[in-house]
Chain A
Amino acid sequence: MMEQEGRDKVKSAQDSSAKQAGQGNSAGKPDLSVSIGGLKLRNPVMPASGTFGYGKEYARLIDLERIGAIVTKGLSLRPKAGNPTPRIAETVGGMLNAVGLQNVGVDAFIRDKLPFLKGIDTPVIVNFFGNTLEEYGEVAARLADLPGVAAVEVNISCPNVKQGGIVFGTDPQAAHGVVSLVRRRIAKTLIVKLTPNITDITVIARAVEDAGADAVSCINTLTGMSIDIHSRRPRLANITGGLSGPAIMPVALRMVYQVARQVKIPVIGIGGICNIEDALQFIIAGATALQVGSANFVAPGAMISIVDGLERFCRGQGLASLGPLVGSLVTD
């Protein structure tokens, strides 16, 4: 009984100090919801495009209604076969991939994949890309008024295809052009996924913000390679590929930190996030939301345990919401 009273006293002390700090009441369940443009998510945790299929692949393993959003595999105007195999190679602390944006195409997605996603009470963010400016515009037009699609994420950063993708992601004018075009075609929340394979990512981030993006997600994979010394062949048929996993996390964190200080729109942090500790680092660096990528392959429950961890962390810190944590890095 005494112990219970003691705990209550501590809790109420925390409550009042939290209130004084403008952080609300911590007695209830912390509110993990975040807003990205006009889109409100129940929590900031979502899969990174390309690591979660079209959602259904993981439906038997995790409760899709506990994550903040579902982000689809990148779609193109027409179906795309992608690159030859081998397409993946394990590396220290991560993996390389050169899948080459294999996808069913936007029409087959709408016909075959979207009906399942509509039955899930979680916002769907459709990732897409084009080989040309016109293709970006055309895919955007098809998604513009589509029920069941809450937001789009424009990929201007895939390192594994010759045309499109990264061509638009490494030149601020080209990035501005493609995002402006998509913005004109689509009123839904518009996220732009940025490449780290550039000298200064903040230049592109500012360009796409200026073009009307509602948020930026950073980072896509870092270009890398791996060699089999016995055959002297590259471990990927594409020779080079995109590096993901914990190995890239410090780089991703640094870029999220830099971008968050340069733009006013929300930053979605991606890059090697595996657990709650990683997730919190991104939030403190300035990320409003998070995408979990290759960790899904290794631990399908990773996103759920991050959601649980955020709730625990907020409760432990007496935070009623995540807001005060975002960009709260202490540098003095």
Chain B
Amino acid sequence: MKDFNTTVLSNQEISPGFFRMRVLAPDFGKELHPGQFVMVRVQRNPAPFLRRPFCVFRTGVLPPECDGLPCREYVELLYKVVGQGTAIMAALHGGDRVDILGPLGNGFDLECGAGDVILVAGGIGVAPLFMTGETLVRDRRVDLLLGARCREEVLAVTEFERQGIETYVSTDDGSLGCKGLVTEVLEQRLEERIPAVVMACGPVPMLRKINSICNSYEVPLQVSLEALMGCGVGACLGCVIKGAGHSDQSPRQLTVCEDGPVFWSRDVDWSQWS
């Protein structure tokens, strides 16, 4: 008798509702007496209860599978495995099915006047900036400052460049681009020229720094925030942040899911993360 994790070789429906499954079982035949049984655990972990929020990286259209069928629109998510939910997601294969609720929340405000735009991304924070840059670059200069811990975490650079977005990479360990923080790169850029707006997504410490930089250079800033979310539609109030001017006496709270995830930096109370 042994307990082992193994691979399904085939799982065939031989008649409606009747199946025949083969699993790999080394040395099993020798030990097994006719009439014995096994206990199967179909899933190692219980399925996560809640959905997970992901920014849409891009959308696209695939040609029809064959003539006469409609084109197939898709959304593409760029995500990092950080826990149980994303680990299960990473194990999905083409043909597996998922439930999607969306589009949700408010994206970047693209009607914020003419002039250059600087996008600043920290690691996986690059995800919501691609479509933003793709849209803005049609009628203005757009630069992307992309910071990451190391070269493996620098994502999608060529896709941005292909859109005509100039991309500047910096990594903590110097393994790609210049060595240093993306916030330092931003400061250097603002010394040279002031854009109409900065749009940023990344970890909160990075966004806080960008907020103080943009304040001192008087550049308007939009940030895309991340939060633990229960519902995604403003009902559970799990993802609230303090808005500018919040106090316990007169609460001014914002939900990241419904009021955000993109905010003008002036609408956010930055002291909540100090």
Contact = CB atoms under 8 A, between A and B. Distances in A.
9 contacts: A53-B234, A57-B233, A80-B251, A81-B251, A81-B253, A82-B240, A88-B238, A89-B228, A296-B231
Contact of B49 (A86, A95, A296): A95
A301 B145 CA distance: 41
A300 B238 contact: no
Contacts of B82: none
Contact of A297 (B236, B241, B258): B236
B271 interface: no
B235 A53 contact: yes
Given A57-B231, A90-B48, A99-B238, 5 more contacts: A51-B231, A296-B231, A297-B230, A297-B235, A297-B236
Contacts of A246: 49
Contacts of A97: 230, 236, 238
B112 interface: no
Interface string B92-118: 000000010100000000000000000
A294 to B, nearest CB: 7
Which of A51, A297, A298 lies at the interface centre, i.e. has the most chain B CB atoms within 10 A of its CB?
A297
B253 A102 contact: yes
Interface string A83-124: 001111111111101010010000000000000000000000
A91 B235 contact: no
Interface residues of A, number: 34
B250 interface: yes
A92 B49 CA distance: 7
Given A87-B238, A88-B228, A97-B238, A298 B51 contact: yes
Nearest to B250: A79
A61 interface: yes
A95 B240 contact: no
Contact of A99 (B46, B50, B236, B246): B236
B191 interface: no
Contacts of B250: 79
B248 interface: yes
B51 A52 contact: no
A58 B233 contact: yes
Contacts of A61: 101, 233
Contact of A94 (B49, B99, B236, B241): B49
A99 B235 contact: no
Interface string B46-65: 10111100000000000000
A159 interface: no
A165 interface: no
Interface in B225-255: 227-241, 246, 248, 250-251, 253
A85 B238 CA distance: 7
Contacts of B232: 297
Contacts, number: 89
Interface of B: 46, 48-51, 99, 101, 227-241, 246, 248, 250-251, 253, 258
Contacts of A81: 246, 248, 251, 253
A300 B250 CA distance: 31
B258 A57 contact: yes
A300 to B, nearest CB: 7
A211 to B, nearest CB: 30
A90 B251 contact: no
A95 B230 contact: yes
Can you list the 7 inter-chain pairs with the closest CB atoms, starting with the nearest? A88-B238, A81-B251, A297-B231, A53-B235, A57-B235, A57-B234, A297-B230
B235 A58 contact: yes
Contacts of B246: 81
A245 interface: yes
Interface string A211-251: 00000000000000000000000000000000001100000
B255 to A, nearest CB: 10
Interface string A60-91: 01000000000001000001111001111111
Contacts of A73: 237
Interface in A266-310: 294, 296-300
Contacts of A245: 49
A209 B101 CA distance: 41
A81 B48 CA distance: 29
A52 B235 CA distance: 5
A196 B98 CA distance: 34
A86 B248 CA distance: 17
A92 B46 CA distance: 7
Contact of B237 (A58, A91, A102, A299): A102
Nearest to B51: A298
